[in-house]
Amino acid sequence: MKTLIWDVDDVLNDLMRDWFNRCWLPQHPQCPLVYGQIRENPPHRILSISLETYLDSLDAFRREHGPSLTPNPALLAWFRNHGHRFRHAALTSVPLNMADVSAAWVMKHFGHWIRSFNVVPSPRPKFPHPPGYDRTKAEFLGWLGASDMMIDDNPATITEVKRRSIQTLLWPQPWNDNTATPAEALETLAVLD
């Protein structure tokens, strides 16, 4: 069986969309943007705030609302129909103090298929990278070895993973150049059989 490695935030769920619509916009009703106009991730420059302010807000939202995030419906349907044909692992970049929220969410919604949850810590001032561990998802996959495809929304991650000769799928989001629908993006996985 082929092994698919899934990013969690903004792939399996819509963390940025939910944060923007449920947290940022209610607190900033004068904001002229809609989610589809967020062309950078992280979006702090577009929102005219510091990176630290954005990360603090996102982390607070994740802690409070992360357990109730809705899974991406297109992906959940795909897993129900095709998940049994592959092995699956989650590989996310969250602060270590938020990894428990992310892991519980993945196992609750995708645990029937995803049996491995992995973290490359997203550093924060109080939680820097632990020494001796991988700093990027590509480094982690180089160590892991058993990876046939990485599905991620971050173009930089995709570029770095491709350098390791692992197939990739750039998950469509406003901040990347994949203009496919989720259904069209998922068609890419059919060639892995």
Domain coordinates in residue numbering, the chain: 3-14+70-192, 15-68
pLDDT digits (tens, 9 = 90+) for 164-185: 999 999 999 999 999 999 999 9
Q: Determine the straight-line distance between the first and last CA of the chain, rounded to whole angstroms.
A: 8
Model pLDDT for residues 53-80, shown as the tens digit of each residue: 999 999 999 999 999 999 999 999 999 9
Q: Decide if domain 3-14+70-192 falls under CATH 1.25.10.10.
A: no
Identify the pLDDT of residue 71: 98
CA distance 8 to 11: 5
The residue with tokens 């809609």 is 34
Q: How far apart are CA 15 and CA 66, in angstroms?
A: 8
- In the sheet that holds 87-92, the strands lie side by side as 114-119, 87-92, 3-6, 149-152, 167-170
pLDDT computed for residue 126 by the predictor: 76
Q: Which two tokens stand for residue 68?
A: 């109730």
Per-residue model confidence as pLDDT tens digits over 107-165: 999 999 999 999 999 988 777 777 778 899 999 999 998 899 999 999 999 999 999 99
Grouping H, G, I as helix, E, B as strand and the rest as coil, residue 76 is helix
Dihedral of the alpha carbons of 138, 143, 148, 154, in degrees to the nearest 10:
-20
